[in-house]
Structure 1
Amino acid sequence: MEIMTMDEKLAINGGPKAITYDQEEALKWPRLTEEDEKAVVSLMRKNEISVSEEPMKLEKEFGQYLGVEYALAEVNGTSALYAALFALGIGEGDEVICPSYTYWASAMPAATLGAKVVFCEVNPDSLNIDPEDFKKRITPRTKAVIPVHLWGLPCEMDEITGVAKEHGIAVVEDACHAHGAEYRGKKMGTIGDIGIFSFQASKNLPAGEGGMMVTANRDYFYKAVTLGHYRRAADLPEEYSRYQHTSFGYKHRMSPLHAAIARVQLKTLDEKNKIRNDNVEKLLQALDGIPGFHIYRPPEYIRRVYYENDIVYREEETGVSMSKLIKMLKAEGAIVRQDRYPLLHQQPYFTEKGSNPEDLPVTREIREHVLALPTFPGDDGTLVEQYITAFRKVFSLL
């Protein structure tokens, strides 16, 4: 660890800030260009702001990127998950297993369809679904499991799909954080029965709004089309096309303007993921040598991306509370916070239906120790070096 001079003060005590670099540009996201603007303006000039081939072009290109046969553009990631569960026939009396430590949209589509959401524990190291705990929660009513690749880190898919296959359970990958991530050489979203993505502005593949459902199963694709894409249902086999004039009451088609942005952003997805990965890994390597920080290193067969950069900090190992650490780092100029996701099994929607907020002790305990840091999507390395200096300064002067 770098040793600071004794006369240097922490910024919180009146000393100089360690981070002085302009963070606005280095942390700005999404990073839109003139090409994005031209793509949108082109559609506007053609009056293609509602009905257009643009979403279908995105489907083809994103499907090719993933290496999957069927891709269906949706209005957002939540709708993509709803369509996936609808295609699987999920409904009243069914159970769907999902981690509690995730965004609400991972669970609510199942609940909206009438299924019971059964929450499971996460692994305290990876923060992803614990395959062993998932297995314990299977009942004869379990119809699907939703592994969430949280913050861009792939779940242990071999274990999850193995358990699911043994019990006849469908696997729906929530890859909304994991555009471009891989597990054993396969893109996330392509390993389970169905995968879903979000193109909301904060995501690694940003379009403002939009989503995608992908699958290798033709019938799942047809059912999802019939749910919310009534114009396109006319081109399907009669089993589905007979619903073309009504669909099933939803309109899920993606806006052409958002699809145009997504098509442009897809071209540089891997390049931009690499910038994040390089910067985040540099910071994490430095933190690995500082007491209290637990940096999870996934196995070599997992190639993660960083939608967010969340790490575990154990205050009992340093004597410095999470809240105090955050205050000291913020004083140095760092943008840090405690994790932002509330646990779903503790939310009124689920507790009013019988969920016990005291369940899932592992998940409850680990969430209190998660610290969120930037992903440095536009940094040339200057800002991340100052963050490293800030952390070393704080811990050397305690």
Structure 2
Amino acid sequence: MLKFWKKKPAETPPVPPAAPAAEPAPPAGLPHDTDAASLEHATPALDEVLAETPPSPDAPAEDEAFERAAIAEAAAPTKRSWRDRLAGSAFARGLSSLFVRHPKLDDDLLDELETTLITADVGVEASTALVEDLRKRMHKREFADAGALLAALRQSLISMLRPVELPLSIGGQKPFVILTVGINGVGKTTTIGKLARRYRDEGRQVILAAGDTFRAAAVEQLKTWGARNQVPVIAQGQDADAASVIFDALQAARSRQVDVLIADTAGRLHTQAGLMDELGKIARVLKKIDVDSPHEVLMVIDGTTGQNAVNQVRQFRQIVGVSGLVVTKLDGTAKGGVVFALAREFGLPIRYVGLGETATDLRVFDAEAYVDGLLPASLGQG
């Protein structure tokens, strides 16, 4: 039996006949001509569609990310610059300190620059190649001072990132299916919530699929994000077959002519063969409905994990053909250089970067803005 859960209105004292209670508004986030009953009948494969969902008492910790985001948005409604968000990274702090301590243009400055880049997770090969190129140019007297070298460093870093500066284009297919992957703790479900908000604000109709059935808390968390973004969520119970859940979600999205379907997946450690087999199965099952789906396999990476992120991408890419990356948590303790390492190693498009808690802090990746956010302000553009 299919169930359509709808939040019961809070009990209120009786009101006089002259002032009856207003009729509740239809669920937001659904097609304007769709009510709860018609949606249930129109999607017979649907286990659960939520237009509204209260936070689950079983997973209070899972809602903390949304609560932090809500507080952050209320406290700082103005969109902050890339430099404001990235200034605390080890990369930015290291470079600023370096040029203060070594204002003189010499080999010692370049040696410390190489160390700074390596410790910021840019990678040994990339750091060495970049610095050696600058050293040759310095010996040819191309730089008048350390400021000129910093300007050349800026151009070299931007050049490393330009090839992966490819925004995700939603269109051409309806629904456009985004399969999100990544290990637990990287901010995957939070990223899905922010993407749903972004696409909804663009006027697109969105459905979410709770494919992380390994953890009941993950399903509840996605329901909370869906409800508060006014986006329906298709889910089944814990330990349900993830491929079946996402298959049903695609059928529902097609029947309702939804623009975007974003599917969550389990995030157990990438070394576990069972998870990788599950992801492969999901991709195969989706192709039974749409041979081109998923249209984007979006891998979410925690920017604080450094070089381990490279290993994660390598593993996931072998199984599900990752087509785009989201790098999160770059505003906190992240060293910042892993973005360059990923660009050099894989050349995969970096679709978005997470620069904070609010929905607007999930930014479309901009190579120049990112580099300028890491460099000393005298050469940046914020």
Give the alignment's TM-score, normalised by structure 1.
0.26
Give the alignment's TM-score, normalised by structure 2.
0.26
Structure 1 or 2: larger helix share? 2
Larger Rg: 2
